[in-house]
Amino acid sequence: MTPPAKNENSVRLWGGRFTGEMDPLMDQYNESLSFDRVFYAQDIKGSIAYARANLKAGILTQEEFEMLEEGLKKVLREWDEGKFQPAPGDEGEVIGTKVAGKLHTGRSRNDQIATDMRMWLRDELNLIEELLIDLLKVVAQRAKQDIDYIMPSYTHLQRAQPIRWSHWLLSYATAFQSDLERLRFTKRNINKLPLGSGAVAGNAFGIDRMQMAKELGFEGLIMNSMSAVGDRDFVVEVLQCASTIGSHLSRWSEDLIIYSSSEFGYIKLADAYTTGSSLMPQKKNSDSLELLRGKSGRIFGAMAGLMMSIKGIPSTYNKDLQESLQPMLDTVKTLKDGLQIAARSLATATVYPDKMRAALSPDMLATDLAEYLVRKGVPFRETHHLAGKMVALAEDENKGMNELSIEQFQGIDKRFGNDVLSVFDYERSVELKDAIGGTSRRAVLEQLEALKKTLGV
C-alpha cells in the first residue's frame, strides 16, 4: 500500500534509488492509501500466508514467522477495533524492523495489491449474491401472494394483452436470475491467486504458490506472472456484471415509477421510500426508484471509464491500473445499497388490483377474438384481419367490442357464433396462455417453482 509522504525517502520500499524529495502535489496525486486501506483484512491474511510460504522456503525461521504472525494479527485486531492508524514503518514498529523487512522478500506491491483486490471482491460478491437472492425471494413472495391480480401488459408502452401482475414480477425475476448466474461465473473467474508472481518475472525463492492459494481460499493460480500483476480484467468483469444488474434495476424501477403515477395508480410506495415536494404539499415522489434508475448510469460510467483507462496501456503493471480501485469500490457500494433498496421498496409497496383491472379494456382481447376463429379452422392471417375489422367497428360505434351485438359480429363474418361474447373475459384470456412461460395460474406457479429451485428455497 502506498504510504503517506515523508521527507526520508528511506522509509519507502522503493526509496533507495531516489535522493530528492517528492513534490507534495505529486505525492498526493500518487496516493492510494485512502482506497487501499479498505483491504486491510485481506492484506494481513495474505501477508501471513506469504510469511508462511517464506518459512517453508527457508527465508524465515520458525521464530521469525511466529513474530510476524503475532504482529500481523495484532495489527488486524487494532484495525477491527478502529485503533490502528497506518503510517510508514508500521510493520517494523509492531514486529521489529529486521524481521518485518524479511516479509517483503520476493514480494512486490504489484502482486500484493492484486491479491488483496481479488480477495476483497470475492468477499463482496458473496454479499452481493446474498442481496440479489434476497431481492428474488421478495419477488417470489409477492408473485405468490398477488397471483390473482390481472393487469394490462404493455408493448411500445401501449396496452397489449391481459396478464397476471405476478407474471410481470417474474419477468424481472428471470432477468435477475440471469444476473445471479453471471455473478457466480464472475466469482469463479476472480478466485485465482496472483501472489507469488513478484513484480513481473516471478518469485526467485521457490515459494509454494499452491499452498498459499489453499490457505487463502483460492481455487487456482494465475499461471503467468506478467498477467498476474498486469491484469484488471477481473475488475472490468465485475463492473460489467454490475452494469447489467443496474440496467435491470433501472428498467424495473421505470415500470414501477409509471405504475405508481396517478394516471396508473397500480401501486403505492411506502413512505419510507418516497419524499415530498418542497413546494407542492400533495406530492409523493418515488425517489427510491428514481435513484435506482439514476445510479445505474453511475455504475455503467464507472465500467466504461475503467475500460478506457486500461485499453491502451502496455503489458504488465502500469500506474494507470491504480484507477481501478475507486470505480470498483464505488460500484460495489452502489450496487449493494441499490439491491437492498429495491427489495425493501417492493416488499413494502401497496398494490391496487382494482385499478389494474379497471385499466383493462375489451380491445385488449382482439387477439383472443382472432384465436376464437382459429379454433374454428380459420387461418390466423385471415382471423387477424377480421378481428381488426371488429376493433374498427367498435371504435366507429364508440362502444367496447363486448357491447356489439351478435348480428354485428356475424355481419363481419358468419363464422362468429352465438358464443363469441364469451371471448371477452379477462380471466379466461390469461388462463388460455397455459404453455410453459405463459401467464395462466398454472404457468405462473410453474415459473415460481423453477425460481425457488434455483434459490434453494
* Terminal CA-CA length for the chain: 42
C-alpha–C-alpha distance, residues 18 and 370, integer Å: 83
Strand-pairing partners, residue 220, are 192
Kind of pairing, strands 192-193 and 350-351?
unpaired
- CB 194 within 8 Å of CB 180: no
φ, ψ of residue 217 to 5 degrees: the values are 80, 20
Range from 9-23, 61-75, 181-195, 294-308 carrying the lowest mean pLDDT: 9-23
| CATH classification at residue 95 | 1.10.275.10
Q: Do both 51 and 178 map to the same domain?
A: no
Range from 64-68, 258-262, 388-392, 452-456 carrying the lowest mean pLDDT: 452-456
Strand-pairing partners, residue 351, are 267
- Please give the pLDDT value at position 18: 62
Above 50 in pLDDT, residue 89? no
256: in domain? yes
For cell 520500499, what's the residue? 13
Q: Which of these three, 78, 103, 128, is where a domain ends? A: 103
- Please give the pLDDT value at position 260: 96
* H/E run at residue 172: helix 165-190
Q: Do both 354 and 377 map to the same domain?
A: no
Mean pLDDT value of segment 320-340: 96
Question: Which residue type occupies 214?
Answer: K
4: in domain? no
Q: Cβ atoms within 10 A of the Cβ of 99, count? A: 20
pLDDT band at 279 (very low <50, low <70, confident <90, very high): confident
Strand-pairing partners, residue 152, are 162
Q: Which of these three, 358, 385, 406, is where a domain ends? A: 358
Query: What's the CA dihedral at 358, 363, 368, 372 to 10 degrees?
Result: 130
Q: Do both 267 and 383 map to the same domain?
A: no
Q: What mean pLDDT, rounded, does the chain reach? A: 91
C-alpha–C-alpha distance, residues 30 and 36, integer Å: 12
Compute the Cα dihedral for 369, 372, 373, 374 and give only its sign. Answer: positive
| CATH classification at residue 422 | 1.10.40.30
127-163: pLDDT as tens digits: 999 999 999 999 999 999 999 999 999 999 999 999 9
Q: Do both 189 and 310 map to the same domain?
A: yes
| Residue, of 96 and 426, whose pLDDT is higher | 426
393-441: pLDDT as tens digits: 999 999 999 999 999 999 999 999 999 999 999 999 999 999 999 999 9
Active site residue 156: yes
C-alpha–C-alpha distance, residues 357 and 429, integer Å: 13
C-alpha–C-alpha distance, residues 343 and 289, integer Å: 11
- Please give the pLDDT value at position 10: 44
Beta-strand ranges (E) seen in 43-191 are 150-155, 158-164
C-alpha–C-alpha distance, residues 151 and 143, integer Å: 13
Above 90 in pLDDT, residue 14? no
| CATH classification at residue 335 | 1.20.200.10
Compute the Cα dihedral for 376, 377, 378, 379 and give only its sign. Answer: positive
Using CB atoms within 10 Å of the CB of residue 370, give its burial: 0 to 12 exposed, 13 to 18 middle, 19+ buried.
buried
Active site residue 277: yes
Boundaries of domain holding 33: 9-103
- Please give the pLDDT value at position 112: 96
Sequence-distant (≥ 6) Cβ neighbours of residue 327 within 8 angstroms: 235, 239, 302, 303, 305, 306
C-alpha–C-alpha distance, residues 240 and 303, integer Å: 6
Nine cell digits for residue 283: 406530492
Beta-strand ranges (E) seen in 68-157 are 150-155
428: in domain? yes
- Please give the pLDDT value at position 95: 59
161-205: pLDDT as tens digits: 999 999 999 999 999 999 999 999 999 999 999 999 999 999 999
C-alpha–C-alpha distance, residues 89 and 382, integer Å: 84
3: in domain? no
Above 50 in pLDDT, residue 8? no
240-244-249 Cα angle (round to 5): 140
Q: Do both 118 and 82 map to the same domain?
A: no
Q: Do both 271 and 388 map to the same domain?
A: no
- Please give the pLDDT value at position 17: 61
Q: Do both 380 and 318 map to the same domain?
A: no
Mean pLDDT value of segment 342-364: 97
Q: Do both 281 and 421 map to the same domain?
A: no
Q: Do both 202 and 232 map to the same domain?
A: yes
Nine cell digits for residue 15: 526509496
- Please give the pLDDT value at position 5: 43
Q: Cβ atoms within 10 A of the Cβ of 387, count? A: 25
- Please give the pLDDT value at position 404: 95
444: in domain? yes
Q: Do both 17 and 137 map to the same domain?
A: no
Q: Do both 351 and 210 map to the same domain?
A: yes
- CB 144 within 8 Å of CB 104: no
Distances (CA, A) of 42 to 123, 262, 445: 10, 50, 43
* H/E run at residue 350: strand 350-351
Mean pLDDT value of segment 240-263: 97
| Residue, of 89 and 305, whose pLDDT is higher | 305
User: pTM above 0.85?
Assistant: yes
406-418: pLDDT as tens digits: 999 999 999 999 9
The active-site residue out of 34, 178, 261, 277 is 277
Which of 103, 284, 280, 262 is CA-nearest to residue 195? 103
C-alpha–C-alpha distance, residues 64 and 56, integer Å: 12
381: in domain? yes
Q: Which of these three, 339, 358, 377, is where a domain ends? A: 358
The percent of residues in the chain predicted with pLDDT above 70, rounded, is 92
The number of folded domains in the chain is 3
1: in domain? no
- Please give the pLDDT value at position 278: 74
pLDDT band at 87 (very low <50, low <70, confident <90, very high): low
173: in domain? yes
Q: Do both 216 and 270 map to the same domain?
A: yes
